[in-house]
Structure 1
Amino acid sequence: MKYTLEIDIALPIDRVIELFDNPHNLKKWQPDLISFETISGAPGEEGTESRLLYRMGNKEIAMTETITVRQLPEQFSGVYETDNVWNLVDNSFIALSENQTRWIVKNEFKCSGFVKLMMMLMPGTFKKQSNRYMQQFKEFAETQVG
């Protein structure tokens, strides 16, 4: 399954990148995130692997992030893997004006087992979650001072 989402953020592109690129901000716009730790490599750099732990309902889901492309603002891509799920996320940022930035996210999912069945029965669930995180980032970013 593949889909693309976009959202406009009322901030200059440099500020959006500064907020997006700081791993300490993740919990501020991904409230389901319990922890984020680098496993190998330098944080934020291509080839770096990190472990993310999320709370989804009453379950904890661990996933591995591998950064595949880091050329901000044009592209920041990573592969996210957990049981039965492989997800490529390709982020790009475009300056629309001095104080307006468009964030574009392309997602590709490959699933197996029960997750594949769930994706077939409820295809909008993945897109809805991605859209929620984008909206939460926009709200977080636009309320930051400095």
Structure 2
Amino acid sequence: MKYTTEIIIKLSLSEFIKKLNSPENMKHWQEGLIDYEHISGTPGQIGSKMRLNYKLGNRSMELVETILHTKLPNELHLTYDAKGMHNVQENYFEETSDGFTKWTSKSEFIPTTFMLRMVTLVIPSAFKKQTKKYMQNFKNFAENGISVANA
């Protein structure tokens, strides 16, 4: 399943990248993130891996993030692997004519189990909604200092 999501953040591209590229800031916009750990490679470089642990209601989830491609401040491509799911995210950032940042995220979810294959077929909107929510959470944090960690 593939889809594209866009959002405008009212920050310059350099300020946007500073906030987005800080692992310490993730807890402020990635709802449910309880901790993260760098596990291999040079942080921020191609091949670098980070383990992310989430608590979503009664459910725990572990993801491994891998940097596939980076040309900051304009591109950052990552994969996220979890039990039953492989996600590829291509992120593009561009400064708008009014000095803000347009963030375009191209997502591809590849289920690796029958159950998750069915979920992506039956309710693909759940994945799109989650991506949009995280992007909106980032916007709220970056522009207004509103953290989901305090919610």
Asked whether the two chains share a fold, i.e. TM above 0.5, the reply is: yes
**Aligned residue in 2 for 1:103:** 103
Structure 1 runs (4+) greater than 3 angstroms displaced: none
For 1:16 and 1:58, how far apart are their aligned partners in 2?
32
Contact 2:37 2:51 (8 Å CA) reproduced: yes
Unaligned runs of 5+ in 1: none
Which deviations, in whole Å up to 9, do the C-alpha atoms of 1:10-49 show, x marking residues without a partner? 1111100110011110001112111110111122211011
Unaligned runs of 5+ in 2: 146-151
After TM superposition, the structure 1 = structure 2 runs for residues 1-146 of structure 1, keeping only pairs within 5 Å, are: 1-111=1-111, 112-144=113-145
Which deviations, in whole Å up to 9, do the C-alpha atoms of 1:87-123 show, x marking residues without a partner? 0011111100353110000001110221111111111
TM-score, with length taken from structure 1: 0.94
SS in 2 for 1:66: strand
TM-score, with length taken from structure 2: 0.91
SS in 2 for 1:136: helix
For 1:128 and 1:58, how far apart are their aligned partners in 2?
20
Which deviations, in whole Å up to 9, do the C-alpha atoms of 1:69-93 show, x marking residues without a partner? 1111221011100111000011111
